[in-house]
Structure 1
């Protein structure tokens, strides 16, 4: 593709036309579009970014026995309490490492509920951001704990 060469009227005018063109364009200023203000240059000695910590809102904190959440959420539907959209996407994409695991295989519902409550409390106290709770499928494929854990977490 050949480069386009711009020609200006005065490039191919005779002297009379050039004089007229000069008089016509004498008071004309070049167009200068309004540009947004330039962003300040980043300092080369910028501090390294600290990893962002997901914050837990009061509605997402575990409640002690006997208290009920004002509006319980359905964790089974994928609704997440106290998690912003960006953190939810990073979590779903596996970009947030699992920091603690709890395996509830072989426990009764009562044992699993107590162990889950202690685990969540300890994780919250120590600043653990992402946990994995393994429920298993139970005998006869009923998945009692799989059904109960989301209910326990929302109360």
Structure 2
């Protein structure tokens, strides 16, 4: 059985073009053209309100979008990089061990360490948190939150649990951002 492709009605095309104008087009693309409005007017009792409060009226020029400052986001380490770190093909240029520290001490020491590592041009470092004596350790839970928080985001590009021989779930591979790229 063949499927019959439905074409959009004139109203659907107009509605779709209005919705599409609220989206940001991909690089090198433009907004879709809106079809011409039909010249005939429908009776007042059958007209539906298709207006959207946040959409620019048809025919009005679209105001230029001001470029937003690129927000720094910390992501998971990509799999090929993690594999290379685990196998020793990428050098871990710095390590810090946070065992036995309180959260306040560990936070300050980690921030200072990452600051120095970033400014000395190091790319991959190992942060050892430990697994904790009962259940999941306090630092094991806190350090990933810290790495994604504001003061650390300017230095840290991504992080992931380390391989077993580097500490497994008690350590993190951290990729620092390149200097000058923020």
**TM class, shorter-length:** 0.3 to 0.5
TM-score, with length taken from structure 2? 0.38
More RCO (CA 8 Å, sep 6+): 1
- The two structures have a TM-score, normalised by structure 1, of 0.44
**If you compute each CA radius of gyration, which structure gives the higher value, 1 or 2?**
1
